[in-house]
Amino acid sequence: MSGSYDDSVGLEASSDSFWEVGNYKRTVKRIDDGHRLCNDLMNCLHERARIEKAYALQLTEWAKRWKQLVEKGPQYGTVEKAWHSLMTEAEKVSELHLEVKNQLMNEDFEKIKNWQKEAFHKQMMGGFKETKEADDGFRKAQKPWAKKLKEVEGSKKAYHTSCKEEKLATYREGTSKADSSLNPEQLKKLQDKVEKSKQDVQKAREKYEKALQDLESCTPQYLENMGQVFEQCQQFEEKRLCFFREVLLDVQKHLDLSNVGRYRAIYQDLEYAIKVADAPEDLTWFKNNHGPGMSMNWPQFEEWSADLNRTLSRREKKKAADGVTLTGINQTGDQASVHNKHSSVSSYDKSQSYPTEWSDDESNNPFTSNDANGDTNPFDEEVSSLEVRVRALYDYEGQEHDELSFKAGEELTKIEDEDEQGWCKGRLGNGQVGLYPANYVEPIQ
């Protein structure tokens, strides 16, 4: 028996049936369980909303990081655009999952919260009004029947006690007949006891049967009253079950992105972006920008001009009018953002105009050696007293024997100022002297 009743103290339920005294408590408890289940469902949706938000943020972070990596990486052309479309997909899906999170919290969560507030009314002394009303209804319906049941249990106990006493008196009378020490008067008393016990048994039986008849006559009304209160509880629970079903369908619609037109469009766009990637087009672009398709100022005979203030070095002769890619540039970290990945990188102005003649025999040519055999270092002349410590901004790998190679962050000494073509002369820490692009370093403060 799951509950007790004031008029049924001492009674024991003979089964687990709803009709047993106090077993209606399970139905009353279901009302309290309904309020708790509302809280559980809200907590469930709240956790799912947190998961949706975390997933959306992770997608956004992933897309941002990989977009930067792809932009700074060596991939190019239409395949790069196809790769970028993966990050675009992640950003759009992230937006949809944030919308799912907002729908779960702003619509579904709030809907349950408001319904719970309207369906369950708290009392000042604790508990809910609906629970108390159901409990009082069951108590009132069960009270008359429980009272009759208590009388039945009492009369049954009295009847069984009388039967026990009759059996004991009959046993004593039977054994006394064989006992010669008992006088006739004592035997008479035992016989009278047996007779009285039989009369008591008959009276107790009649009382017991009468109590059962009274209980049976009360039972139909008991069934009707209990059934009415139970049906009211069923109707209350039916509202909760139907409401939960409605909310869960709303949640399903919010979670099912396959029915969202924007979601399908994301993957249609992604498929299209990947399929339009054209390998031949990318190869042609690379050929024209970094391969044989590039223009070239091929060496031609040039007359010497006395109007030149200085002659060009071999370094300057190598430069094309439209700029030449410096293949020795290695970018590190965020330094890659200083130029366009798809453009030729030059340490000098691509539109720079050059004198029409150059000579290796001029005395002011920094690449010219005075040694007829070419054994003397062309940089062995006296170093200028104007020396400035500088730090490399980017990696640079010298393309000629008279150029320096260094890594980003390495310190060196500038021993000559920048010339008209944007080159400086400097000295590394190991003593090597040579040329380097002026805009690849910065003065050390």
**Domain covering 24-123+257-276: architecture:** Up-down Bundle (1.20)
Listed as own residue / partner, the contacts of 40-49 with beta carbons closer than 8 Å and 24 or more positions apart are 41/112, 41/244, 41/247, 42/109, 42/112, 42/113, 45/104, 45/105, 45/108, 45/109, 45/112, 45/251, 46/104, 46/105, 46/109, 48/104, 48/255, 49/100, 49/101, 49/104, 49/105, 49/109
Could you report the per-residue pLDDT of 154-192, keeping only the tens digit for each? 999 999 999 999 899 888 877 777 666 777 787 788 888
- Looking at domain 388-443, what is its CATH homologous superfamily? SH3 Domains (2.30.30.40)
User: pTM for this structure?
Assistant: 0.59
Q: Where are the domains of the chain?
A: 24-123+257-276, 129-230, 388-443
388-443 shares the fold of 129-230: no
pLDDT higher than threshold 70 for residue 93: yes
Q: What is the pLDDT of residue 14?
A: 61
Could you report the per-residue pLDDT of 374-409, keeping only the tens digit for each? 444 444 444 445 789 999 999 999 888 889 999 999
Domain 129-230 fold: Substrate Binding Domain Of Dnak; Chain:A; Domain 2 (1.20.1270)
Res. 305 pLDDT band, cuts 50 70 90: confident
For the chain, the first-to-last Cα distance in angstroms comes to 89
